Amino acid sequence: MACFHLLLIIARMSTKTFPNGVVITTYPVPPASFDFGKVAEEDRALYGLPRFTAGSGVLEQLWQAKVRNLGFVEPEFKPRDRRRSKLPGLKLGHGTETSNIWSGCVAFPASGDKIWDVNGIWNIPKATLPPGAQNGIWYTASSWIGIDGDDGSGDVLQAGCDADVMISGGNTQYQFNPWWEWYPADSFWITNMLTSAGDEYFCWIQCLSLLFGAATPNSALIILANNTKGIAMPFGATAPANVSLKGNCAEWIVEALGTGPNNTPELAQYTPVYFNQCAAVTVNDKVVLPNNGNTINMVSSTNNVISQGSFLGSVTVSHT
């Protein structure tokens, strides 16, 4: 009977390969009677639930507290028409870093260790038009968490939500689009997660292949949840050829996307974003907190700080 149950669930898992080689796997929704406090290891794999190592018991308690209020929904995807042309090229070392597209915080593992897990809870900001906003251009405050992207890595695995604003024909328009990306591969919108300004998001990203010592760690579990709306969407992602996770840093970020002429970054004014109860976990089973890392400030083309990361009991990112 158990074998039949296993085969039935596997048959209900759905896999889709996109033209760029990205493979996305969605999982069946756990039954109403499912006990998230007593999960067998095979059920974690079959339903897309996170794993917890011996040193991350506090994080497991956080998961248990949040998941009981969430209903699971199978996500739907479409290619995102926004994609960065390069990483920000952050300087290495300690102290505040600067970028023209990122602001927030980056944390690092100890020498010889690697980050395989990142998580966080944050509020989706309200975006408003900046002074001198041009007609027909989306201005964005894109909030997300991720692994890699700094310290010399050429990839970043991330998930979050865009908060956009645009003036067109005298009318101001707003939109909120959840998404995920494994740069330098393409990015994808999650089209069936309704989002509003102020919603509390909860995200967990795990690269189990890195934890288990794979030569090419190129598969991950992503769980994106809107706590305010009460929905969670787990899915698996496999990167295309020649893209794999390094595990050399984790981030909690507000980003300006390249939505302007010639792909210039266009930052919206936005209400402060507070990343709470956030952490990363390493292969050596160490919990890395963001306040042990570096803050990141976003600067304009004239090198003025326009979005600032700070530690005020949480990772706080504010428009300046």
Domains and CATH numbers, the chain: 2-319 (2.60.120.700)
Gap between the Cα atoms of 199 and 268, Å rounded = 18
Q: Which two tokens stand for residue 275?
A: 């990343």
CA-CA-CA-CA dihedral for 189, 261, 156, 152, to nearest 10: 180
| φ, ψ (nearest 5 deg) of residue 37 | -85, -15
Predicted pLDDT at 12:
59
Indicate the helix (H) or strand (E) that contains 199: none
DSSP letter assigned to residue 293: S
Predicted pLDDT at 1:
40
Amino acid at 205: I
Predicted pLDDT at 93:
63
The answer to whether 116 and 211 have CB atoms below 8 angstroms apart is yes
The candidate with the shortest Cα–Cα distance to 120, out of 99, 89, 144, is 144
**Residues in the chain, total:** 320
The answer to whether 249 and 106 have CB atoms below 8 angstroms apart is yes
The answer to whether 55 and 103 have CB atoms below 8 angstroms apart is no
Tell me the Ramachandran region of residue 21: left when phi exceeds 0, alpha when psi lies from -120 to 50, beta otherwise.
Answer: left
Amino acid at 42: E
Contacts for 156 with CB less than 8 Å, ≥ 6 apart: 87, 146, 147, 148, 149, 181, 182, 183, 251
Indicate the helix (H) or strand (E) that contains 295: strand 294-299
Residue with the two structure tokens 């900001």: 125
Which segments of the chain does DSSP mark as H helices, in order?
2-12, 41-47, 57-67, 208-211
Predicted pLDDT at 6:
42
The candidate with the shortest Cα–Cα distance to 257, out of 266, 270, 248, is 266
Low-confidence residues of the chain: pLDDT under 50:
1-11
pTM (2 decimals)?
A: 0.94
